[in-house]
């Protein structure tokens, strides 16, 4: 039976794979990113980069240029506290905070949370999910490493 994200939203699932109809040509602006090792947990305050087409401020316009900002990971213990996301937070999620000026924002959903590994490769560690920084909440991302087995299974069968 195919995996249905809508029926699992209360469990914290918020991830999808897209199969492209045609290959993409790599350029200096279009590059590949790798998947992280299965079950990778990011350290608290670990820096990452989020990119997206979301709003630049509350009720603001959408940008014409892809935006990027540095965010810091907030560990699950802090993010799941009652002052932040509480029981909404799952271990299959990652929280991150901006610097008070820039952060992921409304409209960035589905975009990547990336990090450059020690060997120089870029890895996609998260998929932007709850981007409510205008409410003074931490942004929440689906933790890609929680779904490596599922991703590999889907790729192998398609």
Write a three-state SS string for the chain: CCCCHHHHHHHCCCCCCCCCCCCCCCCCCCCCCECCCCCCCCCCCCEEEEEECCCCCCCCCCCCCCEEEEEEEECHHHHCCCCCCHHHCCCCEEEEECCCCCCCCCCCCCCEEEEECCCCCEEEEEEEEECCHHHCCCEEEEEHHHHHHHHHHHHHCC
Q: pLDDT class for 3, splitting at 50, 70, 90?
A: very low
pTM for the full predicted model: 0.82
Q: Answer yes or no: is pLDDT of 12 > 60.
A: no
Q: Answer yes or no: is pLDDT of 76 > 70.
A: yes
Output the six-digit token pair for 50: 């989020």
Identify the structural domains of the chain with CATH numbers, from first to last: 38-156 (2.40.10.10)
Residue 124 or 68, more confident: 124
Q: pLDDT class for 146, splitting at 50, 70, 90?
A: very high
Average model confidence (pLDDT) across the chain: 81
Q: pLDDT class for 5, splitting at 50, 70, 90?
A: very low
């Amino acid at each position: 039976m195919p995996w249905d994200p809508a029926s699992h939203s209360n469990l914290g699932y918020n991830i999808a794979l897209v199969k492209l109809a045609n290959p993409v040509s790599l350029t200096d602006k279009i590059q590949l990113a790798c998947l992280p090792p299965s079950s990778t947990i990011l350290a608290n305050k670990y820096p990452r980069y989020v990119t997206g087409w979301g709003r630049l401020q509350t009720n603001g316009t959408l940008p014409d240029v892809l935006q990027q900002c540095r965010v810091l990971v907030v560990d699950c213990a802090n993010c799941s506290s009652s002052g932040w996301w509480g029981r909404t937070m799952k271990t299959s999620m990652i929280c991150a905070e901006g610097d008070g000026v820039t952060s992921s924002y409304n409209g960035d959903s589905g975009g990547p949370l990336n990090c450059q590994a020690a060997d120089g490769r870029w890895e996609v560690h998260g998929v932007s999910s709850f981007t409510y920084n205008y409410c003074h909440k931490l942004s929440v991302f689906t933790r890609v490493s929680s779904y490596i087995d599922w991703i590999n299974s889907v790729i192998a069968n398609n």
